[in-house]
């Protein structure tokens, strides 16, 4: 896959303070890339450099092949940026707000009306077209802000914490909207410090802490590399003790635990093999007379993975 964002040894100081430390980042075209890190990690700094609002102190970054230091106007044409705060706009309706940005991007006024209608439909704000922007709810402001980043039809959207402060329903709506944008061919980079907020919607993730990229890649690979074994839950309707014995004897099995609580009788099995080993485990259990009604991988908790990675970075520092 071609990279739409690439950084090489990207570095940024604020005075003496090293905010970005030789960042090597690669975001494939078409990805929804979750950029995750705690407060002060360097997420906003990276995003501001990629949108040419801030200059790097060292290294280089390219967006759609254009250098953020030498081809700033080209970069601005291909990227839309949603900052982490909405800002203040006095006496402006939602439509006027979008017109303001259409003008800033030098879109011919003859196209504004149609464009703004389409964008308001996309973010489901047509009914607020003539409302004062400062009267909109937080979630509506976020959506309007997203519409504004789309005004010049950029290939890449860079969204700085778009989900912060949204209620669960608004978050689901945002997720749907991002998926829709991806279907429209956009690449999306989105930051958050809450992993679970991004877990389901991202195809790739990067974890950054104190200016250093700790991990970056597609979600599955990252999870695999962070967790050497996988855990499966098996619901059993035959004898549980016998199932434990059978499971323990299977290849690649690291640990087996029987659970008998108010839930269904089940085994929790840790296994260190690939998909073939998992399939062989299931066949082995069936062959040994274990009656299985449910067999599923426990989805690893991204939040735990995150704490694990950032902790090991802390202890090695
Ligand atoms: N304008 C500035 N002047 C001085 N230091 C800054 C400035 N902007 C950011 N920093 C410092 O750079 C580091 C990275 O900040 P940045 O805003 O990029 O982090 P972040 O990951 O976006 O954090 P948050 O989750 O809180 O938004 C922090 O230590 C911050 O204090
Ligand atoms: Mg930030």
Cα dihedral value 214, 219, 221, 227, nearest 10: 70
Taking the centre of ligand 1 as the mean of its atom positions, its distance from the CA of residue 89, in whole angstroms, is 25
Residue nearest atom 31 of ligand 1, based on CA coordinates? 40
pLDDT at residue 315 greater than cutoff 60? no
306 or 144: which carries more pLDDT confidence? 144
Structural domain count, the chain? 2
Q: pLDDT tens digit string along 233-256?
A: 999 999 999 999 999 999 999 999
Q: Are residues 50 and 165 in the same domain?
A: yes
Q: At what angle do helices 138-149 and 168-183 cross, to 10 degrees?
A: 10
Q: Are residues 78 and 202 in the same domain?
A: yes
pLDDT-above-70 percentage for the chain:
91
Tell me which of 41, 49, 213 to substitute to probe ligand 1's pocket, judged by most ligand atoms within 8 Å of the beta carbon.
41
User: Does any domain span residue 170?
Assistant: yes
* Domain end residue (candidates: 225, 251, 276): 225
Q: Are residues 209 and 250 in the same domain?
A: no
The CATH number assigned to the domain holding 54 equals 3.40.50.300
Taking the centre of ligand 2 as the mean of its atom positions, its distance from the CA of residue 51, in whole angstroms, is 14
User: Does any domain span residue 312?
Assistant: no
Q: Are residues 87 and 144 in the same domain?
A: yes
Q: Is residue 94 very low, low, confident or very high in pLDDT (cuts 50, 70, 90)?
A: very high
Spatial distance between the Cα atoms of 99 and 78, rounded to a whole number of angstroms:
19
Counting Cα atoms < 13 Å in the Cβ hemisphere of 18 gives 11
Spatial distance between the Cα atoms of 274 and 280, rounded to a whole number of angstroms:
10
Length of the chain: 317
Q: Are residues 124 and 220 in the same domain?
A: yes
What is the CA angle 199-202-204, rounded to 5? 110
Q: Are residues 288 and 215 in the same domain?
A: no
Q: Is residue 312 very low, low, confident or very high in pLDDT (cuts 50, 70, 90)?
A: low
Query: Nearest ligand to the C-alpha of residue 50?
Result: 1
Q: Which atom of ligand 1 is nearest to the CA of 193?
A: 25
pLDDT at 317: 45
Q: Is residue 299 very low, low, confident or very high in pLDDT (cuts 50, 70, 90)?
A: low
Task: Indicate the range of 198-212, 220-234, 259-273 predicted with least confidence.
Answer: 220-234
Q: Are residues 100 and 122 in the same domain?
A: yes
C-alpha separations of 263 from 18, 105, 125, 197, 230 in Å: 51, 58, 44, 28, 22
297 or 48: which carries more pLDDT confidence? 48
Q: pLDDT tens digit string along 101-145?
A: 999 999 999 999 999 999 999 999 999 999 999 999 988 999 999
- Helical (H) or strand (E) element with 11: strand 3-14
Q: Are residues 38 and 156 in the same domain?
A: yes
Eight-class DSSP state of 111: G
Q: Is residue 268 very low, low, confident or very high in pLDDT (cuts 50, 70, 90)?
A: very high
Contact (Cβ atoms closer than 8 angstroms) between residue 155 and residue 88 = no
Spatial distance between the Cα atoms of 52 and 66, rounded to a whole number of angstroms:
11
User: Does any domain span residue 304?
Assistant: no
Coil, helix or strand at residue 202: coil
The per-residue pLDDT of the chain, averaged, comes to 90
User: Does any domain span residue 20?
Assistant: yes
Q: Are residues 216 and 154 in the same domain?
A: yes
* Domain end residue (candidates: 190, 225, 260): 225
Q: Are residues 28 and 172 in the same domain?
A: yes
* Domain end residue (candidates: 197, 225, 253): 225
Query: Nearest ligand to the C-alpha of residue 35?
Result: 1
Q: Are residues 170 and 129 in the same domain?
A: yes
C-alpha separations of 236 from 7, 247, 286 in Å: 50, 12, 11
Which backbone phi and psi does 87 adopt, to 5 degrees? 90, -175
Contact (Cβ atoms closer than 8 angstroms) between residue 136 and residue 98 = no
Which residues form the domain of 79? 3-225
Taking the centre of ligand 2 as the mean of its atom positions, its distance from the CA of residue 44, in whole angstroms, is 4
User: Does any domain span residue 302?
Assistant: no
Q: Is residue 17 very low, low, confident or very high in pLDDT (cuts 50, 70, 90)?
A: very high
User: Does residue 39 line the site of ligand 1, with CB under 6 A?
Assistant: yes
- Which whole number is the average pLDDT over 285-301? 88
Contact (Cβ atoms closer than 8 angstroms) between residue 250 and residue 277 = no
The CATH number assigned to the domain holding 272 equals 3.30.70.1070
Query: Nearest ligand to the C-alpha of residue 36?
Result: 1
Extract long-range pairs of 251-257: CB within 8 Å, 24+ residues apart.
251/277, 251/280, 251/281, 251/284, 252/277, 252/280, 252/281, 253/281, 254/229
User: Does any domain span residue 305?
Assistant: no
Tell me which of 23, 44, 54, 161 to substitute to probe ligand 1's pocket, judged by most ligand atoms within 8 Å of the beta carbon.
44
Contact (Cβ atoms closer than 8 angstroms) between residue 11 and residue 20 = yes
Q: Which residues pair with 270 in a beta bridge?
A: 231, 255
Residue nearest atom 11 of ligand 1, based on CA coordinates? 19
Q: pLDDT tens digit string along 19-63?
A: 999 999 999 999 999 999 889 999 999 999 999 999 999 999 999
- Which whole number is the average pLDDT over 79-84? 95
User: Does any domain span residue 142?
Assistant: yes
Q: Are residues 80 and 215 in the same domain?
A: yes
Spatial distance between the Cα atoms of 133 and 302, rounded to a whole number of angstroms:
36
User: Does any domain span residue 311?
Assistant: no
């Amino acid at each position: 896959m071609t990279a739409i964002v690439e950084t090489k040894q990207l570095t940024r100081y604020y005075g003496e303070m090293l905010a970005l430390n030789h960042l090597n980042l690669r975001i494939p075209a078409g990805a929804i890339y979750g950029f995750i890190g705690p407060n002060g990690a360097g997420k906003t700094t990276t995003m501001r450099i990629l949108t040419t609002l801030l200059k790097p102190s060292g290294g280089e970054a390219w967006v759609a092949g254009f250098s953020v230091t030498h081809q700033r106007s080209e970069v601005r044409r291909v990227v839309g940026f949603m900052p982490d705060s909405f800002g203040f706009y006095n006496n402006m309706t939602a439509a006027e707000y979008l017109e303001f940005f259409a003008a800033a991007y030098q879109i011919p006024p003859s196209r504004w009306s149609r464009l703004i209608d389409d964008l308001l439909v996309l973010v489901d704000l047509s009914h607020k077209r003539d409302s004062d922007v400062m009267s909109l709810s937080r979630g509506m402001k976020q959506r309007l802000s997203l519409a504004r980043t789309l005004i010049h039809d950029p290939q890449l959207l860079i969204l700085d914490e778009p989900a912060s402060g949204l209620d669960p329903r608004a978050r689901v709506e945002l997720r749907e909207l991002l998926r829709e944008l991806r279907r429209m061919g956009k690449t999306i980079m989105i930051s958050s410090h809450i992993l679970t907020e991004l877990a389901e919607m991202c195809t790739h993730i990067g974890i950054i802490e104190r200016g250093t990229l700790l991990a970056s890649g597609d979600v599955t690979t990252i999870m695999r590399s962070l967790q050497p074994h996988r855990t499966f839950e098996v619901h059993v309707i035959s004898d549980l003790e016998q199932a434990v014995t059978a499971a323990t004897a299977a290849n690649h099995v690291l640990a087996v635990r029987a659970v008998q609580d108010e839930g269904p009788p089940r085994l929790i099995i840790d296994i260190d093999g690939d998909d073939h080993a998992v399939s062989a485990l299931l066949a082995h259990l069936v062959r040994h007379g274990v009656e299985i009604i449910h067999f599923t991988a426990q989805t690893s908790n991204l939040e735990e993975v995150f704490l694990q990675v950032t902790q090991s970075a802390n202890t090695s520092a």
